[in-house]
Chain A
């Protein structure tokens, strides 16, 4: 998709002004964090599990080549095919090739952020193949031609009324006067629409929450069971996974599963956890005849060992979004691309370039909540700061604030001059601020737009201390 990250501040203003979005964000940011806390309280070893999960990821990343090759070997042994894609274009071509070989007209899709990252839907459509999202949230935003606004709840920005409107507009073959007031009715309608498509699809594409080197298995977690139908009914199943999704063993995968849903939605486990290993075997009742895995790099191997290495531990749980004061204020679309929240603000500049996206790492209060709740203890604020260093070095961002900061820094390095200038400034402000505060002030519009500015007391602390005041 076309990024709108360069319009971040304007996007954010739209998000703040959107009352329906604000209601949804308020529910999300109260609901998920509370449920997470309850899930943690039910599991006393949660903190130890976080350490274990982090250790598994660190070990895997340190031996990534070994585990990826072992995984490839197991997939081939089980009758599947592995394709290595260096970037998004590469992955799209590989997937299109598999779809064409299968003679595909329609393709069902389980929810996959990697597929959003490579924009496979647009690519398939351009080439005459119809992709159909089967996760309810993804189905809704596909009908609306919108990107996801949350990595696990893609349609969180919409109210049920908006969804009903969309269904009435898009499902023209159904009676126009039907009642879609209740969520249940929306769900039934989507289920009815999708059931025919599940059966008709020639290819099913799913993502992978993990792939296991020991067994050649891919894992998806869902709450709707749509992933199972996507990968079992069509003749061809394509798994798209980025390279950091590999874990060594089944045991390791289950350790990570124990922190994943708890961190995400506060569930002990997702409703469905589905393992798939290769195509249908002779003794299997169902399953695809062809099983393909597309392993995507798209910049990840370059992150290994560098300042963004820790980001490769991310398991896309969304805890950082759910707890972020900035995400909660503006919603996911403000970030302007497929990822959002703190994890998006770290990932997107690496994928789209900093010139377009420097506002994303810029717009953080560095409150540290994201790192606190991240099951993998990823130091997100430190990495946001790394991007800010690069922005500074490249002279990106507002020239006014760069100039202001440079002027302040010039003074702050010269204590005597600093005292003189600041003392004068403070005296002036105190003189005009005899009412205690300012509701507007030249050069302070950013502050006073939404809040008053307290006037300084007369005289600086340093000057008064020096004069002997105690």
Chain B
């Protein structure tokens, strides 16, 4: 049966390939094409090899190099314990928060091309973004929902880290950075809330600003510092805008870098890594006390 198919296949005319044409070229021209092709291939290998050094990683060594040699991936360790990356352990909440931060940065930059931070034009510019710009509605909605989503996922991430005891040594300070990041997430979301300059924005921010104004002794000073006026107006809008698009994202990026760097150094809380082994080695309490978490 197989034989008859093959013999039939030999009789069916083959679909022409680029090589067929090449074979029909006269000798001199064919050599030139070959040389050009070789040059092209070498150039491609030079360029692509200069961007990604190791090619598609298939070996253990290649996979290790892929993580080590990439600025983006090197925040990861090369190997990790299987149960450290189980979805039901972390639910990926920190990663989701960071991804939403990236989405917010991207959509935020696109919105900035059209948004005007002035009380006369802010609201209208947002209407224009929605009505006139290609994908304007989509960008604005994604920015808004991702912002709400990030508040939720950052809060849940904190709960996850707490209930898995991942704040314990040597990660104490990273927990503190996390609390600051939680505060920054709230503050970023809150400063963005004013920018549409609609009734919702103005009054929500007024409520919040009045709360800050109730600070004992320093209330009026802090309130004025925040909104640059006695009521929420143009000065408040430009301050919130600057904080929202430059100031707070810069601080946040810096703290995120430290946050991730320390996770990298300390390892996933279920993994056993270099730093945690140093800490264990330095821990010279009696084994029983260490196991019970006492006397430290």
Partners in one complex: no
Chain A residues in the interface with B (C-beta under 8 A): none
List B residues at the A interface (Cβ < 8 Å).
none
